[in-house]
A = this chain, B = another copy of it.
Amino acid sequence: SAAFITMFRTAAKMLSVASTSSFSRRILSIRYYCKRTPTKLRLSEAVSGSKLGANVQVQGWVRSVRPQKKNLFLHVNDGSTLQPLQIVASSGLLTFGCAVEVTGTLKQSPHQKQLVELEADQILVVGECNPVDFPFKIKERHNLEYIRQFPHLRCRTNAFSSLLRIRSEATTAIHSYFRENGFVQIHTPIITSNDCEGAGELFQVEPQSPENDEDANFFSVPAFLTVSGQLHLEVMSGGFSRVYTFGPTFRAENSQSRRHLAEFYMVEAEVSFTQSIEDLTKVMEDMFRSATEDVLAHCAEDVALFHKHVTPGHRDTVDHMLKKRFPVITYTEAIDILNRSSQKFAFPTQWGCDLQTEHEKYLVKHCGNIPVFVTDYPYELKPFYARDNEDHPEHTAAAVDLLVPGVGELCGGSLREERLDLLRTRLEEAGLQDTYSWYLDLRRFGSVPHGGFGLGFERYLQCILGVDNIKDVIPFPRFSHSCLL
């Protein structure tokens, strides 16, 4: 097979014609046949300017074609960079979207806006693309809503391939932050038998065709898709002082809003031997800064595409966010701010009410349009694991949310109740002491003060790019009534 393909391709080049089954592999622009084997480069290497004068070969998809009197100018992209490599060829028949292999010489470009250009000796059309059927058109800037209709083709647009590089870089940046700060990565499970956390609607999991008994569960117990890796991270907090997880989580929310997905990514961390909620806000803020600085530095052009064409002006918002330390206010202070405001809110703002998106947005604006921590929420609003502050008359739990411009709640976290008797009482009140006997065990054997938080990764991307719809920052969005591919 290998020999066959190599032979075939060599033959195709020698003969300057090629046809394999329904594809016609056409070779255009042959100036001379070069015996010297060209160096294969990715586009990101080619545009760097380090290989000037070299005989090279690049491969990719045609993103623009501009015929001029004598020459044909084209831009080819292989996903490694947004920066275009201008290719100069004698004229030929090339369409937007087709895949090509270009051999030629890297030369200094006479134009200001680019360092190098590739003078093509040979262009081999590897895969055709019928411009009539292809949903993206040459020289048109399609908006995110339009390209979202074609999940199997949208990575061929500049905007979405930039998004995917940014998402990949942000993932790397978050892993790097945790690694450099001594966190051990834990693959918390996707399928879980925990069903009582009350974090939202659950998806249940069963084999497509149960083998014997329709009523018997595959796992012997009902099993669900995880809504959070927190409890499993807490297991690890009994042996590791710093752990984190970064993976998919699920909510069966019947919503098609621009804020919700049925499958989304969360970054969750858990820190042992905490002394106060500041041990958590420090990690949240440091991670946010570190990841954002990495993305801005390593994906400058990709980010600029969004900040120029998709969400003009957003770069200023991002720079502004990173200037100052994030302020910290208590929930009680937040309620005071809302009640002193002249703005009319749709939802109530008395002490004890949950903060709604409208409230979160107001608080962010009030604090100068930068991320703001809100701490010490009413005890009754928080789940059983939140640490009791044992204060009064306003009874609060040591919980914290990070609110950010445009998005609202980006992170939520808390110190966890590490005291066996308080936790047991609360679980007994909820009738959950048997279900969570393993969780109580964690407090029986070498319990330590600890706490953690979760960050919604798609919301993070929306926050730094200014993208309005969450479906535009994930490769394959899943939501109510939609599971394409």
Q: How many copies does the complex hold?
A: 2
Residues of chain B contacted by A220 (CB below 8 angstroms): 481-483
Residues of chain B contacted by A368 (CB below 8 angstroms): none
Contact, CB under 8 Å: B194 / A485: yes
Given A193-B485, A207-B204, A231-B485, A134 and B1 contact (CB-CB distance below 8 Å) = no
* Cβ-based interface call for A285 (8 A): no
Given A1-B398, A59-B241, A133 and B252 contact (CB-CB distance below 8 Å) = no
Picked from B6, B20, B164, B449, the residue with its CB within 8 Å of the CB of A419 is B20
Contact, CB under 8 Å: B474 / A187: yes
Contact, CB under 8 Å: A78 / B241: yes
Contact, CB under 8 Å: A1 / B277: yes
* Cβ-based interface call for A224 (8 A): yes
* Cβ-based interface call for A257 (8 A): no
Contact, CB under 8 Å: A483 / B21: no
Picked from B62, B204, B252, B389, the residue with its CB within 8 Å of the CB of A4 is B389
* Cβ-based interface call for A420 (8 A): yes
Interface residues of A in 240-256 (CB under 8 A from B): 240-243, 247-248, 250, 252, 254
* Cβ-based interface call for A480 (8 A): yes
Contact, CB under 8 Å: A207 / B201: yes
Docked CA distance A21–B443 (Å): 12
Min CB gap A286→B, angstroms: 16
Picked from B152, B175, B478, the residue with its CB within 8 Å of the CB of A235 is B152
* Cβ-based interface call for A115 (8 A): no
Given A1-B277, A219-B482, A239 and B155 contact (CB-CB distance below 8 Å) = yes
* Cβ-based interface call for A214 (8 A): no
Min CB gap A32→B, angstroms: 23
Residues of chain B contacted by A168 (CB below 8 angstroms): 184-186
Contact, CB under 8 Å: A235 / B155: yes
Residues of chain B contacted by A22 (CB below 8 angstroms): 419-421
Q: Which of A64-72, A124-132, A352-360, A402-410 contacts B (4 or more CB under 8 A)?
A: A124-132
Contact, CB under 8 Å: A239 / B190: no
Min CB gap A373→B, angstroms: 12
Given A44-B182, A171-B185, A483 and B193 contact (CB-CB distance below 8 Å) = yes
Q: Which of A94-102, A138-146, A303-311, A337-345 contacts B (4 or more CB under 8 A)?
A: A94-102
Counting chain A residues whose Cβ lies within 8 A of the other chain, the interface size class is 35 or more
| Most interface-central of A190, A415, A438 (chain B CB within 10 A) | A190
Contact, CB under 8 Å: A189 / B478: yes
Contact, CB under 8 Å: B1 / A375: yes
* Cβ-based interface call for A351 (8 A): no
Residues of chain B contacted by A361 (CB below 8 angstroms): none
* Cβ-based interface call for A347 (8 A): no
Picked from B5, B77, B222, B483, the residue with its CB within 8 Å of the CB of A192 is B483
Contact, CB under 8 Å: B164 / A236: yes
Closest to A479 in B: B219
Picked from B101, B186, B239, B375, the residue with its CB within 8 Å of the CB of A156 is B239
Docked CA distance A79–B79 (Å): 39
Min CB gap A394→B, angstroms: 12
Docked CA distance A439–B152 (Å): 8
Convert A92-123 into 0s and 1s, putting 1 for each residue whose CB lies closer than 8 angstroms to a CB of B: 00000111010000000000000000000000
* Cβ-based interface call for A456 (8 A): no
Contact, CB under 8 Å: B21 / A445: no
Min CB gap A280→B, angstroms: 10
Min CB gap A436→B, angstroms: 10
Interface residues of A in 414-471 (CB under 8 A from B): 415, 418-422, 438-439, 441-449
Docked CA distance A263–B80 (Å): 32
Interface pairs A-B: 6 shortest CB-CB: A79-B240, A2-B276, A127-B447, A155-B239, A219-B483, A207-B252
